[in-house]
Amino acid sequence: MTTILLALVIGAAFGAVLDRVGASNPSFIGAMLNLTNLNLAKSILLAIGVGSVLMFGGQMLGLVDVGHMSVKTAYAGVFLGGLLLGAGWALSGFCPGTGVVAAASGRKDALFFIAGGLLGAAAYMVTYPAWKSSGLLDAVAGGKVTLGAVPGAKYEGLTALPGDILGLVLGLGFVALAFALPERLTGAPAQVQPAE
């Protein structure tokens, strides 16, 4: 029961932060994707970078157990799914997480987004045998792999570089990029509409 309560508290805190930085507002998403307001992109890069530094640094110090890391299998369908997710994100202004946050903050359009996502998931479940037989779900690059080798892990690295060092370097690179990016790359500053 404690684990469920902790998950709810952490999820609510994460949702509050997403809402606060504007990730639940489709206008912010659109401004980010058309490069007229990169503040949200900078927030995302900073969060990924800090998270990577904490995780890989904690792993190197023995504070994070590598056995708790979950590496998903790589297959061609992941790339197709990523393209579909990106297109849906651009069209709707929501991704699955920000759609739930937007619905919780009272946006009615997010409810339609969530319903569409659930219908899409149901359609995938119904058609799963066809996707499986198509070969799109066959493992590529050895299946469960990472960019760098992680000591004690049950999966291979694509390179011989130490995974924890590579994770730290990439994390620091994301943090640096978050601070180096300008507020916008094109056009006049975006006029972002307030949340409904």
pLDDT in tens, 178-195: 999 998 887 666 565 555
pLDDT of residue 75: 80
pLDDT score recorded for residue 193? 57
Mean pLDDT of the chain: 85
Exposure on the CB side of residue 88, measured as CA atoms within 13 A? 19
* Predicted confidence (pLDDT) per residue in 126-161, tens digit: 999 998 888 888 877 667 777 787 766 677 777 778
Q: What is the pLDDT of residue 68?
A: 67
The pLDDT value recorded for residue 191 is 60
Of 1 and 42, the structure prediction assigns the larger pLDDT to: 42
Mean pLDDT computed over 64-75: 74
CB neighbour class for 113 (10 Å; exposed up to 12, middle 13-18, buried from 19): buried
Burial of 70 (0-12, 13-18, 19+ CB in 10 A): exposed
Q: How many CA atoms lie within 13 A of 99 on its CB side?
A: 20
pLDDT of res. 20: 86
Please report the pLDDT score of residue 149 as a whole number.
76
The whole-number average pLDDT for the span 56-72 is: 79
E-strand ranges in the chain read 145-146, 156-157
18's tokens: 């997403």
Cβ neighbours of residue 164 closer than 8 Å, sequence gap 6 or more? 56, 59, 60, 148, 150, 151
Residue keyed to tokens 């792993």: 59
pLDDT number for residue 62: 85
pTM for the full model?
Answer: 0.75
* Domain boundaries defined on the chain: 2-180
Q: How confident is the model at residue 39 (pLDDT cuts 50, 70, 90)?
A: confident
User: Which of residues 110 and 152 earns the better pLDDT score?
Assistant: 110
3 state SS of 64:
coil
DSSP 8-state code for residue 75? B
